[in-house]
Amino acid sequence: MARAAVKPQAPAALRREAEEQAARYPALMAEAERIAVTVAQGVHGRRRKGVGETFWEYRHHAQTDPVTRIDWRRSARSDDLFVRENEWEAANSVWLWRDGRASMDWRYDRKLPLKKDRAAVLSIALASLLIRGGERCAVLGEGDAPRAGNAGLDRAALLLAAGTGDIAETDFAALARHARLALFSDFLEPVETWRARLSQLSGIPAGGVLVQIADPAEEDFPYAGRTLFRASGGGQELLVGRAENVGKTYRNRYAAHRDDLKALARRAGWPLVRHRTDQPPARALQAIYQAMAPEG
């Protein structure tokens, strides 16, 4: 369905593009796994007994307990009967979304990753962590139901790596109540657009994390000289005689935009994690994971 937005192409070209996209997937997956492992040290359960697979405690057998629940091995060691309790591992559904629009498909310096790729890495790593923690994940806008386990991770990772990720076409109606979301984008659209979206989401109700991916050049504006600026994806152009002269104004505006976004996030109760592509992703992932973890 996302393909519909792409202008018609020859099948061969389409396939080549798909393969190129897919070729990136294992690499992204590998990197995501790598950074996920560094964060996974901190993964823990819900710290209370419940439905789960991990041992939580032995307790004395109560009248209400069925006989089948008696742990005979433990009970044989003493006169009392014991019941084995496992930790409660409530699975939540998390919807991930990685902005894949043209503005994300950009970098200033060849040595840095595309914003889109960095977002994919972070989101896949997050998915990996969540699924490891027993959560179910789904990719927003792709129509899949949240799934758990390795199959769910593979599915999510593929969609995060190669998906189109256009939020304008996303149908929030599919979200379950109290769903949690992680939105990876550069949030360069006007703040009003996001205010509308966030209020729509809050109405479901659903909450989550906003992860802003930024290229250093977007903040620092390192341009100088006579420069013709083009919007990503074509369209608008702007010729600046001396780019260094507008740098200061631009940086102020960018800072204002960032503050607006921060204020919006705070008011809507969505933690905002900012990440520059020239910084190591593990730190951002840690922050995102912390923000994702529910209170308690």
Contact 118, 111 (CB under 8 A): no
Which residue number, 13 or 228, has a Cβ lying nearer to other proteins?
A: 228
Which residue number, 87 or 99, has a Cβ lying nearer to other proteins?
A: 99
Residue 262's CB is within 10 A of a number of other CB atoms, namely 15
Smallest distance, Å, CB 274 to other proteins? 15
Q: Provide DSSP, 126-156.
A: HHHHHHHTT-EEEETTS-PPPB-HHHHHHHH
In the DSSP assignment, the letter for residue 295 is: P
Number of DSSP helices (H) and strands (E) in the chain, helices first: 8, 9
Smallest distance, Å, CB 38 to other proteins? 29
Contact 186, 104 (CB under 8 A): yes
Which residue number, 116 or 155, has a Cβ lying nearer to other proteins?
A: 116
Smallest distance, Å, CB 106 to other proteins? 5
- The contact set with other proteins (CB under 8 A) reads 102-104, 106, 110, 186, 188, 190, 215, 218, 223-232, 236, 238-242, 245-246, 249-250, 253-254, 257
Smallest distance, Å, CB 188 to other proteins? 5
Which residue number, 135 or 218, has a Cβ lying nearer to other proteins?
A: 218
Which residue number, 249 or 290, has a Cβ lying nearer to other proteins?
A: 249
For 289, counting Cβ atoms within 10 Å of its Cβ (0-12 exposed, 13-18 middle, 19+ buried), the class is: buried
Q: Provide the pairing of β-strand 237-240 with 227-230.
A: antiparallel
- What's the one-letter identity of residue 101? R
Smallest distance, Å, CB 267 to other proteins? 22
Smallest distance, Å, CB 141 to other proteins? 21
Residue 224's CB is within 10 A of a number of other CB atoms, namely 12
Contact 35, 285 (CB under 8 A): yes
Which residue number, 66 or 241, has a Cβ lying nearer to other proteins?
A: 241
